[in-house]
């Protein structure tokens, strides 16, 4: 005699697929990429950089300060007062003591403003300060 109930039970059993380990791996990869990603900070304004034949590329510029042709100063896409630059740089250096400061000055900006900002950055404790330039077009 055939065992009909056993055959029915075999067909009715469902296969469970446990996706919990897969979800765990996806979250681990997500956390890994979030931790290792470096975000680029911009000055927040379009600046026409002067060109220099000896310009080199900096990979780890974490504090960017922009100076427009009319003398306005920008940090983190916000316009700041020139007297507040020191406080902003001190705050950023407290978060990352090895941060490099890059001053992106427009070719029409006044040299006095760039010197004042460099002085504020040094007073804030920045050790590596650079002026941004672009390579000359050939």
**Is residue 85 a contact partner of residue 79, using CB atoms and an 8 Å limit?**
no
Between residues 110 and 12, the one the model is more confident about = 110
pLDDT digit string (tens) for 6-37?
A: 656 656 666 778 888 889 999 999 998 888 87
Q: At what angle do helices 85-95 and 111-124 cross, to 10 degrees?
A: 40
pLDDT digit string (tens) for 31-86?
A: 988 888 766 566 666 666 666 666 666 666 678 899 988 889 998 888 999 999 99
Name the fold adopted by 61-131: Nucleotidyltransferase; domain 5 (3.30.420)
**Is residue 39 a contact partner of residue 102, using CB atoms and an 8 Å limit?**
no
Residues of the chain with CATH 3.30.420.270: 61-131
């Amino acid at each position: 005699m055939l065992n009909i109930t056993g055959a029915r039970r075999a067909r009715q059993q469902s296969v469970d697929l446990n996706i919990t380990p897969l979800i765990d791996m996806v979250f681990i990869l997500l956390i890994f990429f979030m931790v290792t990603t470096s975000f680029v900070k911009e000055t927040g304004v379009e600046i026409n950089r002067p060109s220099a034949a000896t310009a080199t590329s900096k990979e780890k510029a974490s504090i960017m300060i922009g100076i427009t042709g009319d003398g306005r100063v920008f940090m983190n896409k916000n316009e700041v007062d020139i007297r507040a630059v020191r406080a902003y740089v001190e705050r950023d250096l407290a978060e990352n003591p090895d941060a490099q400061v890059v001053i992106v000055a427009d070719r029409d900006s006044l040299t006095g403003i760039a010197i004042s900002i460099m002085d504020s950055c040094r007073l804030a404790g920045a050790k590596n300060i650079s002026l941004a330039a672009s390579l000359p077009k050939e």
